Chains A and B, each alone.
Chain A
Amino acid sequence: MTTAISLSDVTVSFNGTTALDRFDLDVPSGALTAVVGPSGCGKTTALRAIAGFQTITTGTITLNGQLVATETTNTPPERRGVGMVFQEFALFPHISVAENVGYGVRGADRVDRVRRTLRLVGLEGYEDRFPHELSGGEQQRVALARALAPGPDVVLLDEPFSNLDAPQRERMRRELRRIIHSVGVTAVLVTHDQAEALAVGDRIAVMSEGRVVQSGTPVEVYARPVSPWVARFLGEAMILDGVAEGGAIDTGIGVVPTSLADGASAKVMVRPEWVRPTVVDHGVGKIVDREFYGHDQRVAIRLDDGTSIDALLPGSIDVALGERVDVEIDDAIVYFTNDTAGAR
């Protein structure tokens, strides 16, 4: 897998604040990479830096091996071959759908390309309409078609679904994956919604405070978050305190083996689906709440020592409030810091 976009040690600062702080990101070509982070983390700045709308203070940006931005140079956006889909779509209101889509296309096959691209996004016959005559989803498709029509190496999408209602959003996510993969273009999508990032991205990069804190496939990042913060940001996570003793940490809900030296304190992260309760007459805890979703269910358990934990179980298991349970954990991640693990 070759690298299509590479940001290396990129810093962007203005007015005394730093939007990107020694930011590193490699985007593999042909895949859809979702950049996710809380609002204000700098993800839109990163996207704008790739597109060329934002100059960078330090570092380098490379697009398909071409250096496009350094401390001192900045290839203007129009010469980067990057397509962009904007949050509010930014369709040109004064020209038709066909003219919007054909705006970036030059050459003899312009008309043909516009038609093919509109077919790709499912908007055949919309050529002569104007942006204000379209629904949100249709505008989104035009925006995507416009970005794809010139045949860019890279497409950037800035919160592309935030202006759509929930059902449209679900449908457009699937459509987007289909279109991106059928074209084979490298895509970077920015979102603040972790569920969206996990669902849509071939790879995801999690950002916090101007940096990429973790990147990888959705499965990797979800299952092996590099910090409690990432764990919490990407999904539900329980963080339990514990101290290593004799090669294990007793979390209260189970004992986790560890290589940490005795006396080292650590945080143990457990996702609810890793918790496996079994109904036992004299169990260590009691089921105090249950939300049934159909395909699965969340069960809240209060242990006798007062600890509350959640478990996510398949819908097929029948449990009842007040039943006593024993708890095991299938998986856990132990986080430690250098100073607390000093005894090791």
Chain B
Amino acid sequence: MSEQVESLIRKDYSAGFHTQIESDTLRPGLDEEVVRFISAKKEEPEWLLEWRLKAFRAWQEMEEPTWAHVSYPLVDFQALSYYSAPRSMANKPKSLDEVDPELLATYAKLGIPLHEQEALAGVAVDAVFDSVSVVTTYRAKLEEAGVIFCPISEAVHRFPELVKKYLGSVVPQKDNFYAALNSAVFSDGSFVYIPKEVRCPMELSTYFRINEVKTGQFERTLIVADEGSHVSYLEGCTAPMRDENQLHAAVVELVALDDAQIKYSTVQNWYPGDKEGKGGIYNFVTKRGLCHRNARISWTQVETGSAITWKYPSCILKGDNSVGEFYSVALTNNLQQADTGTKMIHIGKNTRSTIVAKGISAGRSQSAYRGLVRINAGAEGARNYTQCDSLLIGDRCGAHTFPYIESRNASAVIEHEATTSKVSDDQLFLCQQRGLDAEKAVSMIVNGFCREVFKELPMEFAVEAGKLLEVSLEGSVG
């Protein structure tokens, strides 16, 4: 079957087009001047510039981490450009009518219409193109409910107290190499604030698009759910097909205050590189949420893109009775490499966490789950349940599991299970004997394998995720 499977995993990346648009792109290289330039461009207050510079200085002292189960030539950070914006965005368009039609067309082509009347009902979108936010839909409607959803560069001016209070409160500037880099040069991203006891009336979504050549994307997302509030947020990402590797080093911080709930879903479809492993995005992302008392943060991710994925969406369960969840599907094909998982840090009493991680490896790819469950001494009655399953398609890929379990409290109960299996010849034959073609059979088996994760996604995106897997696996069976 291997050959059959192998030949099925072939398909073009449909989001791989490039938008012809004039951009202002900063000269390559990174020094203090660049950090000051970005800050000035955004007309930032002094405190934020200082905050960036502190991060930059820390970053200069740090080393790129090498512990992940991935290999790639080290990134030349001086060869990258740290800021790029469509020229038409220079004079901040006031409404959608003033936005460059090329940009709108780009998003339409990606299936993300930005005109509200055409958009998915009930989903507000912030569209980020290279280093700037292009447009945010449904803002008026959201503001009626008191919900703030705007580019973070704008929030710095309009809600300085909120930004100052929470920026870096979950992921400090010096947290790790990429987080420090992001803190120094982050360009844009989304800011969300849900007031007390408010249930956000619609899904919020940010769509990231890298367009420019040799540009790093460093967006920063900050979501604050005030006491008793609820929000569901989704991010999507694509990039053109290019031979060079592009760097994406984002930071996402979630703050769930007492009794609040945040559901954060990601459908990551960055360009994965071609079949020979040329090009593709390096996705080095730090995502972390802080749960106060009775709060719940749920991460759901479907990762099919990127040449390299290095990503561990985590929960700090600080408040008593708080809940952290991580549901993940990571699919790698061709020469992709993924080292992804989560960290659940139990600090409060009766904190609970659930981890369901599904890895699918095809082609010559390598997929690793890396997770940490830590029960601190004070986390009386903490519970964790972890399930990691790997599915191998073809005999040239790898699937790995590295779970770290650290318990410091006798009343905690931790359960971890991991299995590895393959799409078996018998399963494939059964499906084919019932009239399904091999491709449909594999996608059905893979979808079945991922079911527990997909059911955590908002409805529309669950369908999208299923299709995305199908596309990503196409050509993996003959």
Q: Do A and B come from one complex?
A: no
**Chain B interface residues toward A at CB < 8 A:** none
